[in-house]
Amino acid sequence: MTRLLKNYRQHKTLYWVGGLILLYFIVFSYLPMGGLVMAFQNFKLADGIFGSEFVGLAQFEKFFNSPYFERVIVNTLVLSGYDLLFNFPAPILLAFLLNEIRNRAFKRTVQTVTYMPYFISMVVICGLIVDFTDSEGVVTRLAHLFGSDATSLIASPSAFRPIFIISNIWQSIGFNSIVFLAALAGVDQDLYEAARIDGAGHFRQWLHVTLPGIAPTIMIMLILRIGQIMNVNFEKVILLYNTSTMATADVISSYVYRVGLLDRQYSYSTAVGLFNSVISFVLLLTANALSKRFSQTSLF
How near is the Cβ of 55 to another protein at its closest, in Å?
Answer: 16
Considering only the stretches 50-58, 68-76, 77-85, 174-182, report the one whose residues sit in contact with another protein under the rule CB under 8 A. Answer: 174-182
Do residues 217 and 179 touch, judged by C-beta distance below 8 A? yes
With binding defined as CB under 8 A, does residue 11 bind another protein? yes
With binding defined as CB under 8 A, does residue 44 bind another protein? no
Q: How many residues of this chain bind another protein (CB under 8 A)?
A: 93
In whole angstroms, give the CA distance from residue 62 to residue 3: 52
With binding defined as CB under 8 A, does residue 179 bind another protein? yes
Residue span 131-170 as binding mask against another protein, x where in contact by CB under 8 A, dash where not: xx---xxx--x----------------------------x
Sites for another protein among residues 75-94 (CB under 8 A): 94
In whole angstroms, give the CA distance from residue 63 to residue 213: 45
In whole angstroms, give the CA distance from residue 166 to residue 149: 20
Sites for another protein among residues 101-130 (CB under 8 A): 101, 106, 108-117, 119-124, 126-128, 130
Do residues 299 and 228 touch, judged by C-beta distance below 8 A? no
Judged by CB, which is closer to another protein: 235, or 246? Answer: 235
Sites for another protein among residues 183-242 (CB under 8 A): 183, 185, 196, 202, 217, 220-221, 224, 227, 235, 239
In whole angstroms, give the CA distance from residue 240 to residue 40: 32
Contacts of 134 (CB under 8 A, 6+ apart): 140, 152, 153, 154
Phi, psi torsion values for 167, nearest 5 degrees: -70, -30
